[in-house]
Chains A and B, each alone.
Chain A
Amino acid sequence: MLKFFLALRYLKKRKIVLLSIAAVALSTALLVTVASLFTAFIGAIESSSSDYLGDIVLDPPAEILHSDELVARLCGEKEIAAASIVLSTNGLIHFGPGNVKAVSIWGIDLPSRCKVTNMKSNLLRQKDLPLSPEFANDANNPDFIGAFIGIGLLAEPDVKTDEYDLTFVKSFIGDNAVITVGSVRKDTQAGVSSVGLQSRSARIRICDVVYTSVYDIDKRFIFVPIDKLAAVLHKEEKPADIIHIKCAAGFSPRQTVDVVRRIWKEFASEKLNWPPYYIADAEIMTSIAKQSQYTVELRKQMGVLLVIFGIISAGVVVLVFCIFYMIVAGRQKDLAIIKSIGGSSITIALIFLIFGLFIGLLGASAGIGIGFAITHNVNAIERWISLLFGLKLWSSSVYMFSRIPNHFDWYWAWWFFGAAVCASVLGAIVPAIAAAKTIPAKILRYE
């Protein structure tokens, strides 16, 4: 009891102790905030990948025909909730005078895509409508292809606020544009067939705007019905070059990849007559794994940054050591009295170790509190800095997302909490030993 009482008393009476608490809190807050912002950013990349590509991506080495049958086979498995085909190509789009952009064009099957991804919630016009979204056709111009256009193709976010003018963007809905895509042309002349490339153009009608909050997608993609794109590209039957798959509830994408691989092998050998080496060339992986090349790098950068800050933060050990040493030096008489009335060396050492523990607990708790507050309000802080200093720190065109991902990482928080407490106790060890070695006869003698 005496140990706790004295530790608490030192904590309350010695103002310098506040300094060590502040240092522990500062270090913990910094490390927790850096770790949280990094992991939140990595998490945002992974989750946006799932939102946009589904849980699993099947990317065959070449276009596949009879894709409807592959989708039916996939959906027949209990592990798979839905699958959607995509026909992708690149092209140019002409919106109006002088306004030409390079685009990636995806031909999609809208109903199945809405099941695999959260496409509907990304559509500015149709997201709040009770009906399923559709590529509305223009009765007056049946040749015009209905298209969803990425918001970044229509406008740039405001330089100061990084937000789009949604009213302005919505005004494009109903406008026409022209796309041009590359297509393989097959000629037969005098019995000799040849294959060549040609560009083909088509008129499109903007029937909705896609706003995913992922800049690279919003800036680059347009979506059209898959059959219309196939017609523009002169494709036969219903081809697809990517399949996006959504796992059923309760099944993880990692487990389901094997199921997809099995079905793909069966389908490719039975329906496409592809040789085994070509079938194996298909890339089947979870959408999260697809981003791993970048997320691994980000995790590495986070690790390096945490090590650097961690090394400097290790100064906390020195700080606690100095403060405790000072307290021990100043409290020699008290310690000698405790010893003279029967307190053991271990009791004396424990007083300071508990004291260190208190400092660690208080500092680390405060640090986590500060870290949580900063992470949670990082967008408001960024806005505030932007307003006050005119310094726009976050821009979706640089960091992909329109908002700073601000998920607080409790895993790292607990690690740093533990590390901070350990550092405080570690800093207290040498002073505690010095205190335990106090000899009452030397300290309390008259001279």
Chain B
Amino acid sequence: MYDILLPIKFFFRRRITILAVLAVALCVFTVVVVMTVMNGLVTDFTDKNHTFFSDCIISTDSLVGFGLYDEFMSRLEKTDFVASVAPVINAFGLVESESSGKNAALDLMGIDIARHIKTTDFADSLYYRKDTPMLAFKPVYDTNLPGCIVGVDLLVERQKSGQYSQLSFLPAWSYLITCFPLTPKGALAKTGTQLSANSKTFYYSDNSNSGLAKIDSTVVYLPFDSLQSLCGMDVGTKRTNAVFVKFKKGCDIDVCTQKVSGLWQDFIKEKGDFAFAGLFGTISVQDWKTYRRGTIAPMEKEQTMLILLFALVGLITVFIIFVIFYMIINRKSKDIGILKSLGVSRFGILRVFLRLAFLIGLFGAAVGILFALVFLANINRLEGWLFDKFGFQMWNREIYAIGEIPHRTVPLLLLAVAACAVAACLLGALLPTLSAAGRKCVDVLRVNQL
């Protein structure tokens, strides 16, 4: 019983424990706030990548692409785990505004809108045609004109609040889009001896806000057939350079990606005698996370680095606990002597002080988490107030594609931080506690020590 009552008594009676609790609470508060925000940013970014790129991607980096994709898509659609598939062409093009004369070399993405909106959440990214995504490539001012969807950051200005200054009407802007047509061998298609590039005028039909800054500031979406034609991929066997695959609900993405990979391997074996079978060699079948690892990994690494830095700073908390326990144990050496003289074992002494450390860690973590939750619940209001009063924004929304500051806490993160806080307290208390347990009552209680 003493090993339960004593830690509680020490915890409430010793003022110095308040200092330890505060030190732990401060550390926990900071870690929870920073990690929640960081975690939210990373999760938001990965989710946006997932919804933009579907579950699995069959693709090649080569702009030449690969043929027979429609046949393979039909096979995939017949399986029991694939919900939908969509072909995608990724190419580069020169986009010239016919109203301003300005030009830019941009990424072009050819999409089959009917398939694409079933396979990805592309429809949600549209502004004017959000409710009628099937008409996304039909400009409202003249539905007979060939339309193009432009990445939102290429056309629409972002306000400091993070909102886009969308026009209430769709302006009739036109763009001349030029591409290099490539033969299946990758050579530049020529007209006689002249070098030729294919050009076609498209009309602004909508803008897309995927929430992925790099995509929204560099990509122009065109109808799949149009881009296929501009890139010369419609000559002979039609080609594409990616197929997006969405799996049915409840299907494991890794397992299904393996199945698609297997099907693809069977397919290319079967089509070994196809004239351009060589183009299959550069194709990879990847789940969305692997496909986008180049952009997701740096954010995850930064998160890891931040955790490491906090671990370093957290060392100071361990030091504080160590010193406070050293103090408590020095002050309580007589009590320890008396306890030992009454027959309390070394392990008993260890239990008393480690339980005290546990209590400090637990209370510190609870206080820290409580304050962190309150702070996070109000973080966006606080930022809004700082912005109104002092013009301070944590992230300039004109530059960063961030909406509100993430503030939803993950219970697992809270548990992990609380566990780390308790572990840090136990670690800090370990040495002083061991020294306390090792003390002999005859040494502590002899007359010249009193």
Chain A: residues with CB nearer than 8 A to chain B?
Answer: 16, 19-20, 22-23, 26-27, 30, 34, 89-92, 94, 96-104, 178, 180-182, 184, 195, 197-199, 201-203, 293-294, 296-297, 300, 304, 308-309, 311-313, 315-316, 318-319, 321-323, 325-326, 329-330, 391, 393, 395, 397-398
- Partner of A309 from the list B98, B185, B309 (CB cut-off 8 Å) is B309
Scoring B98, B195, B400 by chain A CB atoms within 10 A of each residue's CB, the highest score goes to B195
Are B176 and A182 within 8 A (Cβ)? Answer: yes
Please indicate the chain B residues that have their CB under 8 angstroms from the CB of A197 in the complex.
96, 98, 101, 103, 176
A259 → chain B closest CB, angstroms: 30
Which segment, of B6-14, B23-31, B411-419, faces chain A?
B23-31
Also in contact, A318 and B23, with CB within 8 A (given A26-B312, A197-B176): yes
Complex Cα–Cα for A23 and B309 (A): 14
Pairwise interchain contact A201-B313, C-beta atoms closer than 8 A = no
Determine the distance from Cα of A203 to Cα of B188 in the docked complex, in whole angstroms.
Answer: 12
Give the chain A neighbours of B315 by CB distance below 8 A. 23, 26
- A-B pairs, 7 with minimum CB distance: A97-B186, A98-B186, A102-B105, A98-B64, A182-B103, A90-B105, A102-B92
- Decide: B330 and A329 in contact? CB cutoff 8 A: yes
Docked CA distance A16–B92 (Å):
65
> Contact partner of B94 among A199, A202, A293, A323, CB < 8 A?
A199
A309 to B313, Cβ gap below 8 A?
Answer: yes
Measured between beta carbons, the chain B residues less than 8 angstroms from A97 are: 64, 182, 185-187
Within 8 Å of chain A (Cβ to Cβ): is B427? no
A–B pairs, 22, beta carbons within 8 Å: A26-B312, A91-B94, A92-B105, A92-B180, A97-B64, A97-B187, A98-B63, A98-B182, A178-B188, A178-B195, A180-B197, A199-B197, A202-B195, A293-B399, A297-B400, A300-B396, A312-B314, A315-B27, A316-B316, A322-B324, A326-B327, A326-B330
Q: Is B445 part of the contact surface with A, judged by Cβ < 8 Å?
A: no
Chain B interface residue count, CB cutoff 8 Å, equals 62
For the complex formed, measure the closest distance between the CB of B89 and the CB atoms of chain A, giving whole angstroms: 13
Q: Tell me if A323 and B394 are in contact (CB < 8 A).
A: no
B-side contacts of A316, CB under 8 Å: 316
Which of the residues A182, A313, A325 comes within 8 Å of B327, measured between beta carbons? A325
Inter-chain contact A312/B298, CB cutoff 8 Å:
no
Cα distance A176–B260 in the bound complex, in angstroms: 40
CB distance from B13 to the nearest CB of A (A): 17
Query: In the complex, which residues 66-110 of chain B have their Cβ closer than 8 Å to any Cβ of chain A?
Result: 91-94, 96, 98, 101, 103-107
Q: Are B178 and A30 in contact (CB under 8 A)?
A: no
- Cβ of A180: which chain B residues have Cβ within 8 Å of it? 94, 178, 180, 195, 197
- Chain B residues with CB below 8 A from A199, complex form: 94, 176, 178, 197, 199
B446 on interface, CB distance cutoff 8 Å: no
Question: What residues of A have a CB within 8 angstroms of the CB of B316 in the complex?
Answer: 23, 26-27, 312-313, 315-316, 319
A99 to B64, CA, bound (A): 8
Contact between B103 and A89, CB atoms less than 8 A apart: yes
- The answer to whether B323 and A19 have CB atoms under 8 Å apart is yes
Query: A322 near B16 (CB under 8 angstroms)?
Result: yes
B49 → chain A closest CB, angstroms = 15
Contact A182 B30 (CB under 8 A): no
CA distance A103 to B187 in the complex (A): 19
0/1 string, B320-356, CB within 8 A of A gives 1: 1011101100110000000000000000000000000
Alpha-carbon distance A397/B293, docked complex (angstroms): 13
Q: A197-B176, A313-B316, A326-B323 are in contact. Are A393 and B301 (CB under 8 A)?
A: yes
CA distance A22 to B323 in the complex (A): 13
CB closest chain-B residue, reference A22: B319
B92, A92: Cβ atoms closer than 8 Å: yes
List the B side residues contacting A27 at CB < 8 Å: 313, 316
A398–B214 alpha-carbon span in the complex (Å) = 12
B305 located at the interface, meaning its Cβ lies under 8 Å from any Cβ of chain A in the complex: yes
Chain B neighbourhood of A94, CB < 8 A = 180, 188
Q: Which of B27-77 contact A (CB under 8 A)?
A: 27, 30, 34, 62-64
Q: A149 CB to closest chain B CB, in angstroms?
A: 15
19 other A-B residue contacts (CB within 8 Å) besides A100-B182, A322-B19: A19-B319, A23-B316, A30-B312, A92-B93, A102-B107, A178-B188, A180-B180, A181-B94, A181-B103, A182-B94, A202-B195, A304-B394, A308-B34, A311-B26, A312-B30, A315-B23, A315-B27, A319-B316, A326-B327
